[in-house]
Structure 1
Amino acid sequence: MIDIVLPCLDEAAALPHVLGDLPDGTRALVVDNGSTDGSPEIARSLGAHVVTATQRGYGAACHAGLMAATADLVAFVDCDGSFDLSIVPALAAPVLDGSADLAVGRRRPVARGAWPAHARLANGVLSWRLRTLGLPVHDVGAVRVARRTALIDLAQIDRRSGYPLETMVLAAKAGWRVVETDVDYHPRHGRSKVTGTVRGTVQAMRDMTVVLAR
């Protein structure tokens, strides 16, 4: 069993598509982070387990999902329809067979506009920094899979947009074996709150710069 943590803030438009792709052997944990569009009710009606994260922030939602997870393996995937959940079993395979401690997806846009240029540039800078730490990656870990107990042991403290980068930095420090696999990246459903806007990308970069500074 793999628990798939889906941080959610007003993703009513995306949820039917996202949860319709749930693979066998997985469970969806939709972590509501203050939605006002009925996302929790929609998620429940589609069979997902809903977790409430009272602290606002992407990292807060991810961590609440991690603490609510019970499966041995935990995946983190955006809840906006930009990824098909069908990618999770293949991505998790190296962790499941013991050849890797952390598996991450390298985004490959499948349509124009899926990944705005400013967001891709920011990702390139940050992933270069990760490679200087010895991680063989070209993305900051928007999709990632690891064992639940190992993730908890990382003792992450970021609760904002720097959470996935912090996972990678701490994994490097802990000597984890990290593998990267290409994953399709689709245009999101609805309005982007972070990297789809210049303002959101700048804020995310600030959050991640704080992580790197630590």
Structure 2
Amino acid sequence: MAKQLELTILMPCLNEAETLAICIAKASSFLQSSGIKGEVLIADNGSTDGSRKIAEAAGAVVVPIEERGYGAALAGGINAARGRYIIMGDADDSYDFSRLDAFVAQLRDGADLVMGNRFAGGVAPGAMPWHHRYIGNPVLSALGRLLFRTPIRDFHCGLRGFSRAAVLNLNLRTTGMEFASEMVVKATLARLDVREVPTTLAKDGRSRPPHLRSFRDGWRHLRFLLLFSPRWLFLYPGIALLCLGLLVGAILLPGPLRLGGVSFDVHTFLVAALCIIVGLQSISFAVIGRRFASRYGFIPRSGSYDRLLEGLTLERTLLVAVLLMMIGFAALVWGVGEWAVRDFGPLNPSRTMRPVILAMTALVSGFQLMMSGFMSSMINIPIYERRVAEVPTPDDPMQRRRELDRT
């Protein structure tokens, strides 16, 4: 077994021949000047420009990663690293690998993840496109802080250090650029010690365009943040719609409401009913999504939330669904009664549509709640195959008969 080192400086690489040698030289000089026992590791993601030979000639360890993607390259490099700590950064000479003292100091002090903050350390002119600096990064970082209550102010800094053991335990899954967000989100949800230090960003030394695609990769980061937060994606909007629908519906159920020169009648009542249906469905998605994500390891478990989910049994959900459907049938009978009062003749839409809308809302809500209950319960089915076989006793006559037949 290879001896563990204190630090691995990891660089993902895809055709970085122009800048790779200088990055390795800076990283090696840092290890030598600081006296840290470490290695420079290049996770090569299929380079065709001679990057691998350049890295080997410069004294770095090269690990070929067949699966394409920024996240895949980093995951492969993390698995292959021998360092107790890992500091990762892009191999385009935009980060200064000769100045990593702040990262090492925080890691030695017990931090599990140390993020660089380019906005605190300084962004050189031309190092970051204006829409990344003033729109993309601030918006996505602010959204990440809102959704996950993380202290990190530069979510997408590529220079970061971490404990190898702690990050391996996070079970990171993404293979693309969103790997950077996944690391921060999962570390925060797992309540690891996450810190931030200032770092600088220089203009990269490549003559070709970067691998990053602003809108495609920005959307992938945004999509990841939303998918990992069922509360903000489903629960909170669902609760808001449900409460709005119930409030407006309760006000308009007896009859029209006039505020100043504006009249709210059956059409507004119908919109309120739709808000109730959509809100209830959104809340159901939140429960299903959270149960699935926490059960299969996408999101760390939460004790209080899991206890709440366990209380939402199929039987209790079906009971509520049946009650809603009974209310719906009762409202339907009410509507037919209103029609019968008028000898099944012409009706006043403003009056008779109310029980019909109430009936349909309760019936649809009850049905969708019933289906959501069954879907949620499917999450509890074990994903492994359990084979049950009877072990025959030594004097089992059928077993002796089968053995004689085989002979």
**2:102–2:197: 8 Å Cα contact kept in structure 1?**
no
**C-alpha deviations, 1:153-188, integer Å up to 9, x for none?**
000110000001100000110012211111110111
Aligned to 1:193: 210
* Partner Cα separation in structure 2 for residue 179 and residue 87 of structure 1: 17
Aligned to 1:57: 69
Aligned to 1:14: 19
**1:91–1:103: 8 Å Cα contact kept in structure 2?**
yes
* Partner Cα separation in structure 2 for residue 52 and residue 89 of structure 1: 28
Aligned to 2:115: 104
Within 5 A, what are the aligned runs for 1:20-39?
20-22=25-27, 23-24=30-31, 25=36, 26-39=38-51
**What count of residue pairs does the alignment treat as equivalent?**
209
Normalising to structure 1: TM-score of the pair? 0.92
* Partner Cα separation in structure 2 for residue 110 and residue 3 of structure 1: 25
Normalising to structure 2: TM-score of the pair? 0.50
**C-alpha deviations, 1:103-131, integer Å up to 9, x for none?**
01011444311011122221111111222
Local SS of the residue matching 2:100: helix
Aligned to 2:169: 153
Structure 1 pair 109–34 and aligned structure 2 pair: CA distance change class (3 A)? farther
Residue from 183, 190, 195 that aligns with 1:174 = 190
For 2:112, give the aligned amino acid. D
For 2:113, give the aligned amino acid. L
* Partner Cα separation in structure 2 for residue 105 and residue 136 of structure 1: 12
* Partner Cα separation in structure 2 for residue 92 and residue 130 of structure 1: 25
* Partner Cα separation in structure 2 for residue 209 and residue 131 of structure 1: 13
Local SS of the residue matching 1:170: helix
Q: Which runs of 4+ in 1 moved over 4 A?
A: none
**C-alpha deviations, 1:61-113, integer Å up to 9, x for none?**
01000000111101111111000112323212112121x22101011444311
Higher relative contact order (CA 8 A, sep 6+): 1
Structure 1 pair 193–156 and aligned structure 2 pair: CA distance change class (3 A)? same
**2:17–2:54: 8 Å Cα contact kept in structure 1?**
yes
Is 1:83 matched with 2:95? yes
* Partner Cα separation in structure 2 for residue 129 and residue 3 of structure 1: 31
More strand as a share of residues? 1
Residue from 7, 15, 32 that aligns with 1:2 = 7
Residue from 116, 120, 128 that aligns with 2:129 = 116
* Partner Cα separation in structure 1 for residue 170 and residue 215 of structure 2: 26
* Partner Cα separation in structure 2 for residue 172 and residue 205 of structure 1: 21
Aligned to 1:128: 142
CA RMSD of aligned residues (A): 1.4
For 2:57, give the aligned amino acid. S
Q: Which runs of no fewer than 5 residues in structure 2 stay unpaired?
A: 1-5, 229-407
Q: What percent of counterpart residues are identical?
A: 34
More helix as a share of residues? 2
* Partner Cα separation in structure 2 for residue 153 and residue 165 of structure 1: 16
Is 1:164 matched with 2:180? yes
* Partner Cα separation in structure 1 for residue 192 and residue 220 of structure 2: 23
**1:130–1:168: 8 Å Cα contact kept in structure 2?**
no
Local SS of the residue matching 2:200: strand
* Partner Cα separation in structure 1 for residue 9 and residue 209 of structure 2: 21
Deviation at 1:206, TM superposition (A): 2.1
* Partner Cα separation in structure 2 for residue 6 and residue 192 of structure 1: 18
For 1:6, give the aligned amino acid. M
Q: Which runs of no fewer than 5 residues in structure 1 stay unpaired?
A: none
